[in-house]
Amino acid sequence: MSVELKQSVNLPTEKMLDQSAHWIMILPANVPKTLWLRVPYGETIRQFRERLHQPENNEALVQDLPNTMHTRLSHACVTMDISSFKLLGLARKLVDAHLRFKPKTLSIMVMGFDGEHTERLTEAVITAALAAVARLPEFKQKKDKAQPLKQIRVYGCSRGDGFARTFAANEGNTLARRLSMLPSNKLEPFHYRKEVEKLAKAKRWNYEFIGINELKKRKCGAFLAVSQGSATADAGIIHLRYRPAGKSRETLALVGKGICYDTGGNSLKPPRYMFGMHEDMLGSAVALGTFLALSELRVDFAMDCWLALAMNHIGPKAYKPNDVVTASDGTNIEVVNTDAEGRMVLADTLVMASKSRPRLIIDYATLTGSCVHALGTAYSGVFSNRNELLSLLIEAGSDSGERVWPFPLDEDFDEAIKSTIADVRQCALEAGPDHIQASRFLQRFVKNDTPWVHVDLSAMNNKGGLAHIPTDSTGFGVRFSLDLILDKDILAKVKQSE
Ligand SMILES: [Zn+2]
């Protein structure tokens, strides 16, 4: 399903509002009298707002216009300094007012702002509309037969690129959400692999699958410790390559944790905490979604994407606490808790990803419960072996509306994961800042001191949705990454700091 976008710099007339059933309007806070005179149905809207006794700024209001079509209009008066997170949440409400009518066309008008603000506000509504109508997995006998949204019409603004980035980000987010919502019996590593292979063919990416036998040859003992619990040997690491036409600037490596189901293994999760663990592959889906969006935008740098796909099963062959396993770089790891499997599969994947010395590695993982305890589920945690990047990460989170907050990574955090029998413990035995200790553990496997950002996706699932995303599964990370890579130009910033 694709939604068509029509743009016009002109503002609509009252007659145009009469001819279409669904409109979204954004005006500035404290609308001046002169502007009300120019707003189609301005007097009707002004009176409606007055009857509500001074509704708040940045609040979505809904009314049906007094015309034969009873045109539904959702509107808001927005302050210039509204945060992106709040704006996206507002955009979701403005869109939501129309959804039960299953509109085929949605019209957006933004009036009374300068060009830059108009684009920002329009973009938020387009994003929210695309997120709302995304096709997501549903296994119900009774199917919804209503026609999906076909067209978005934008008035008051027209971008030469047709909001290409917004559409690409949405495609990446929808892919991440769709994959993470698929039940584990419909998305085992085998299915996942087939799906990525198909996508790679369609998008002309170079595709390689590093299966169990090859992983054994490469002595990836940390990854294999996790995958050995599966009856089917379908686990492995997918390596995708995107190369731009002509000479590329540098290489970005995206890495993702793809545990298609996490039972906890021998350190079995209790039912309450196991439910939902089909989403433990979201990190890989966000890496893939970001890779997809950037390749759709035909970026001028090279990209590698590494997806670590496995199940964390219980069974006679499953790895156990106190096992000592050797990762591909020779590090001997003392297993403490088999539920800390994410860092095990990522360890060998990071070694592989850093071998070719990319300019930057970003990895995504639904890694630790302690990150959720620290931040809740409306923020994700970020970590880096370059402190100078931390403010850039916060800024990208704030500007994109997918908010992140950094944690420290000082050496002394290693005390808690010291092992008497091996080089390192997989995790600490005692409760502590596991999200930081996990990152310290991962950092060992980032070779050649490659600049590295790790995203612990505590915002993977937020009850009632998050910002513009209406589903509990958020697909968090694609929009943040596009801002970080394209707007903040993190690849250039890393280069400067070298
Ligand atoms: Zn786990």
Q: For ligand 1, an ion, list residues with CB under 5 A.
A: 262, 339, 341
User: How many whole angstroms from 158 Cα to the centroid of ligand 1?
Assistant: 47
By CB atoms closer than 10 A (0-12, 13-18, 19+), residue 490 is: buried
Residues 172 and 138 in one domain: no
Among the options 203, 269, 355, 493, which is catalytic?
269
Mark whether 145 and 209 lie in a shared domain: no
Q: Are residues 174 and 92 in the same domain?
A: no
Q: Which DSSP string do the residues of 90-127 spell out, in sequence order?
A: HHHHHHHHHHTT--SEEEEEE-SS-HHHHHHHHHHHHH
* 138 & 268 share domain: no
Is there a catalytic annotation at residue 343? yes
SS3 sequence of 280-349: HHHHHHHHHHHHHHHHHCCCCCEEEEEEEEEEECCCCCCCCCCCEEECCCCCEEECCCCCCCHHHHHHHH
Given 157, 189, 212, the domain boundary residue is: 157
Report how far ligand 1's centroid is from the alpha carbon of 438 (Å).
Answer: 12
Q: How far apart are the first and last CA of the chain?
A: 44
Same domain, residue pair 76 and 185: no
CA distance 308 to 343: 11
**Secondary structure class of 212 (helix, strand, coil):** helix
- Report the domain count for the chain: 2
CATH code assigned at 93: 3.40.220.10
What is the pLDDT tens value at each position of the chain, 498 positions in all? 589 999 999 999 999 999 999 999 999 998 999 999 999 999 999 999 999 887 889 999 999 999 999 999 999 999 999 999 999 999 999 999 999 999 999 999 999 999 999 999 999 999 999 999 999 999 999 887 777 899 999 999 999 999 999 999 999 999 999 999 999 999 999 999 999 999 999 999 999 999 999 999 999 999 999 999 999 999 999 999 999 988 777 899 999 999 999 999 999 999 999 999 999 999 999 999 999 999 999 999 999 999 999 999 999 999 999 999 999 999 999 999 999 999 999 999 999 999 999 999 999 999 999 999 999 999 999 999 999 999 999 999 999 999 999 999 999 999 999 999 999 999 999 999 999 999 999 999 999 999 999 999 999 999 999 999 999 999 999 999 999 999 999 999 998 777
3-state secondary structure of 138: coil
- Among residues 157, 175, 194, which one ends one of the domains? 157
Cα separation, 204 vs 242, whole angstroms: 8
The whole-angstrom distance between residue 228's C-alpha and the CA centroid of its chain comes to 29
Task: Kindly state whether residues 253 and 382 are assigned to the same domain.
Answer: yes
SS3 193: helix
Tell me, in angstroms, the distance from the centre of ligand 1 to residue 52's CA: 50
Burial class (CB in 10 A: 0-12, 13-18, 19+), 391: exposed
CATH number of the domain to which 310 belongs: 3.40.630.10
435 and 322 together in one domain: yes
Name the domain boundary from 126, 157, 188.
157
Tell me, yes or no, whether 257 and 120 share the same domain: no
Report CA(340)–ligand 1 centroid distance (Å). 5
Range of the domain at 400: 166-497
Q: Are residues 74 and 92 in the same domain?
A: yes
Q: Are residues 292 and 357 in the same domain?
A: yes
Q: How far apart are CA 296 and CA 162, in angstroms?
A: 14
Closest CA to 392 of 380, 378, 404: 404
Active-site position among 72, 165, 178, 343: 343
Structure tokens at 367: 């890694």
Mark whether 135 is an active-site residue.
Answer: no
On whether both 150 and 276 belong to a single domain, the answer is no
Gap from CA of 287 to ligand 1 centroid (Å): 19
Same-domain pairing of 255 and 367: yes
CA angle 140, 145, 150 (to 5 degrees): 125
